[in-house]
Structure 1
Amino acid sequence: MRASVDILRPIRAFDRFQQSHRWAALPMAVLRKFGNDQAGSLAALVAYYAFFSLFPLLLVMTTILGFVLRGDARVQQAVERSVLGQFPVIGAQIGAHALTGNVVALVIGVLTSMLGGLGVTQAAHNALDRVWAVPFKDRPDFLRSRLRGLLLLACLGVLFILSTALSGLITGLGGTPEKVLGVVISLAVNFVIFLAAFRFLTAATVPTRCLWIGVVFASAFWEILQLVGGIYIGHVYRHFSSTYSQFALVIALIVWLHLGAQLTLYAAEINVVLSRKLYPRSLLGPPEAPADEETLRALAKVEERHETEQVDVHFHT
C-alpha cells in the first residue's frame, strides 16, 4: 500500500520559515494584506478615474506652461520634454501640439481636469482608508472629503507644474550633471507628492515618520515605471503600423495607470504592516497568527457606519 503524499508539506515548511524570519515575513504579510483589502480592485478604480482625467490634466499643464514660456522656443521644448516625459505612454502623442497657450483649451481643461481629478482623489481616499482600516463612521462627509480633495489636487498640481518646469529647464541645458540633477528633482517631487497623498488622503491618524519607507518605495518605482513606459513606446512605434500602434497605446496607458495605482497601494500596505506590526502572517491556518486576527478584526470593523454601531469580532479555536 503506497503512502499518501502531502502536497501541502512544502508550503507548510515555507510558512514556518517565513514566520520565523522577519525579512521573509514582511513581504508575505504585505501580500496577504493587499489581498485582504481587495486592493487590486481599488487600484483598478483609481486607474479608471485617472484614465479619463489624464488628458485634460496634461492639457492644463502644457497650456499654462505655454502662456508662461511663450517666445522662448528652446525653453519650451526642454520643458515640453520634461512634462510629457512624466507620462511616457501618451506624451509622445501630445508632443507637437503641447505648448499652444490657448485660452479656450485652458478653460475647458481646467474644468474637466477638476472633475476627473476629483474622481481620482476620492477613489484614492477610499482606497487608503480601506488600507488603513478606517471605519466608515470615521471618514469625512461628502462635502468635506471633496473640498479636501480639491485643495490637495490644486496644491499638488501647482507643485508638479513648477517642479517639472524647473527640471525641464535644467535638463534642457544639456550635459550629464544637468540631466542627473533633473532626475534628482523629479525624484524629490515624487517624494513630496506621495508623502502628501499618504498623509492627507486618509482619515487615519498616522504619524509622518510611519510613511517614509512606503513613500521612498513609491517614488523609486514610479521613476522605473516611467522609464519602462518610454521603452515600450519606442518598441510600439518600431514594430506596429499606425492603426495598431494607436490601439496598443490606449491599452498600454490603461495598464500603465493600473500598475502605478497598484504600486502606490503596495507602498501604502508596507506602511500599514510596518507601523502596526501586522506580521508574520499565516499562509495556511488555522491556527491563525496574532497578526492575522488583528488584520481581520480591523477589516470587519471597517463596516461600522453609524456612531452607535459597534462590530465585535470573535475567533473560535
Structure 2
Amino acid sequence: MSVLTRLDSYQRRRPWLGKAIAVGYKFADDRSSYLAALIAYYGFLSLFPMLLLLVTALGFALHGDPHLQQQVLHSALRQFPVIGDQLGQNIRSFHGSGVALAVGIGGSLYGALGVASAIQNAFNTIWAVPQHRRPTALAARLRGLLLLAILATGIVLSSGLAALTASAHAWGTSLDLGVRAAAVPVSVAVDAGLLLLTFKVLTDRHLRVRLLWPEALGGALVWQVLLAVSTYYIGHQLRGATATYGLFGIVLGLLAWIYLGAVTLVVCAQSAAVRSRQLWPRSVAASFTDDAELTSADRRAYASYAAAAAYKPYEEISVEFHQSPARAGDSDARPDPDVRPDPGARPLPEARPLPEARPLPEARPLPEARPGDRAATPATPTGPSAPPRG
C-alpha cells in the first residue's frame, strides 16, 4: 500500500481532516488566491477615500466639540491599526471642506462598488452559481451600495465600542477591566453578524444562516487576531524606524493586512460551501495520478464547476465520468455505481457475424498423354529468321 493510499484512507475516516483537505482542494480549484487579490486591490483603493470621507464628515457634524471629534476619530482609526496611529498623529484639527467631501464620496463609492463586485464574483464562483443567474452590472452596483451601508454600520458600532472602552479607562481600573473583558466578545459578535449579512446579500444562492454561523464566527475570531498582530507590528517593528523604511513598512503592512483579511473571507466561504454541500472527502491520490478512483464528492465538485459555466438558462451541460485507460484494462476493476449512463446516448449496433467462406471447387486432373502425340514445344517469337552462317 502506497503512502498516498494510506493518507487517503486516513483522511476519509476522520471528518475534520477530510473537510480541511476538501477546503484546500476547492481553494485551489477555484483559484481563490486571485479572487482574494482582486478584493484586496479594491479594498486598498477605497480605504483612503473612506478615511477622508470620515474625517470630513466629523468636521461637519462635530464642529463645536473638538474633544469629542478627537475621541471619535481615534476610536474609528483603531479599526485600521496599520495606518490609524499615523493618521491620528498627523491630524491636528477638523475643517469640513466641500471639495474633500466630494472627493471622499466619489472615491469611496468607486472603491466600495469594486469591492462589492469582487466579493460577489468570489462568492458566486465558490458556490458554483451559473453565469445566467448572476446579477447584472446595475444590480451588482446596487448591492455594492448595500454593502457600503453594512460596512459603515460596522465601523460605527466598533467605533462606539472603542470609545466606550476609552472612557471606562478614565473612570477606574476595575471598571476598565470589566469593560475591556466584555468588549472582546461583543466585537466578535458584531463582526460575525456583519460577515453573515455579507454572505446573504452578496451570494446569488439561497443560504441558510444556521449553516453559515460557524464560518462567520471563525472569521470574526481570525479578524480579531489580525488586528492584534497588526497592532504589535506597528508598536514593535516600525517604532523608531527611518522615514523611508517606515513608509515602505506601512504600505506593505497595509497591503498584507488587507490581503489576509480577503483570504480569511474567501476561506470562510469555501468552508461553508464544502460543509453545506457535502463536498468531502476528496480523493488525495486523484491529484497526483490519473488512474485513481474519484469519490462522489469529487464528481459533485467537478460537475458543479462545469454547470457554473452556463451563460444561458436554456443551455444544458451534462458531465460524464469514464474509467481511465489504466483502470479500463484491469480485470479486477469494479463498475462505479455513482456513474450514471447518459439517457440520450444511442447504443452501438450489434456486430453482425461474417458469412461462412465457401470451399473452392476441386481441380480437374489433366488428361494422360497418348502415344504419337507431339511434345509441346515452347512457342518461339515470330519474325524474320536469322541468316545462315557461312
Q: TM-score, normalised by structure 1?
A: 0.91
Ranges in structure 1 where 5+ consecutive residues have no aligned partner: 1-5
Partner SS for 1:238: coil
Q: 1:221-256 deviations in whole A, cap 9, x for unaligned?
A: 111111111111123323632101101211111111
Does residue 165 of structure 2 align to residue 171 of structure 1?
Answer: yes
> Equivalent residue of 1:274, what SS?
helix
Q: Relative contact order: is structure 1 or structure 2 higher (C-alpha 8 Å, sep ≥ 6)?
A: 1
Instruction: Verify: 1:301 aligned to 2:307, yes or no.
Output: yes
CA contact (8 A) 2:75 2:160 kept: no
Aligned residues of 1:79 and 1:172 also touching (Cα < 8 A): no
Asked whether 1:312 is paired with 2:318, we answer yes
* Aligned partner (choices 31, 50, 55) of residue 57 of structure 1: 50
After superposition, the Cα gap between the structure-2 partners of 1:109 and 1:217, relative to the gap in structure 1 and judged at 3 Å, is: same
Select the residue among 108, 132, 154 that pairs with 1:113.
108
Contact 2:130 2:311 in 1 (8 A): yes
Listed one character per residue, the Cα deviations across residues 41-93 of structure 1 (whole Å, up to 9, x for unaligned) are: 10001001111101111222233234434444544343333211111111122
CA deviations on 1:262-298 (whole Å, 9 max, x unpaired) are 1111101111111111111111222111101101110
The 1:199–1:183 alpha-carbon spacing in structure 2 relative to 1, beyond 3 Å, is same
Q: Is the 8 A contact 1:281 1:292 kept in 2?
A: yes
Q: 1:26-105 to 2 correspondence within 5 Å?
A: 26-96=19-89, 97=91, 100-104=94-98, 105=100
Q: Which residue type is aligned with residue 156 of structure 1?
A: I
Instruction: Give the distance between the partners of 2:72 and 2:190, measured in 1 at CA.
Output: 15
Counterpart Cα distance in 2 of 1:101 and 1:198: 38
Provide the C-alpha distance between the structure 2 equivalents of 1:35 and 1:19, rounded to a whole number of angstroms.
20
Q: How does 1:1-317 map to 2 (within 5 A)?
A: 9-96=2-89, 97=91, 100-104=94-98, 105-153=100-148, 155-173=149-167, 174=169, 175-238=176-239, 240-285=241-286, 286-317=292-323
DSSP-derived class of the 2:283 partner:
coil
Whole-angstrom CA distance in 2 between matches of 1:195 and 1:314: 36
CA deviations on 1:147-191 (whole Å, 9 max, x unpaired) are: 1221231x2133124213311321111112222333333222211
**Alpha-carbon distance between aligned partners in 1 of 2:9 and 2:33, rounded to the nearest angstrom:** 27
The equivalent of 2:330 in structure 1 is: none
Cα distance in 2, alignment partners of residues 252 and 141 from structure 1? 35
Aligned-residue offset at 1:114: 0.5
- The worse-fitting range, judged by mean Cα deviation, of 190-199 and 97-106 is 97-106
Distance across 2 between alignment mates of 1:64 and 1:156: 18
Aligned letter for 1:87? F
In structure 2, how many angstroms separate the alpha carbons of the residues matched to 1:109 and 1:182? 30
Partners of 1:118 and 1:49 in 2: CA distance:
9
Residue pair 1:213, 1:270 contacting (<8 A) in 2 also: no
Higher radius of gyration, 1 or 2: 2
Deviation at 1:115, TM superposition (A): 0.6
Q: Hey, what's the Cα distance between the residues in 1 that align with 2:70 and 2:9? A: 57
State the one-letter code of the partner of 2:50.
Answer: L
Taking structure 1 as reference, are residues 99 and 211 closer, same or farther at Cα in structure 2, changes over 3 Å only?
Answer: farther
Long gaps (5+) in structure 2: 170-175, 287-291, 324-390
- Greater helix fraction, Structure 1 or Structure 2: 1
Q: CA RMSD in A?
A: 1.9
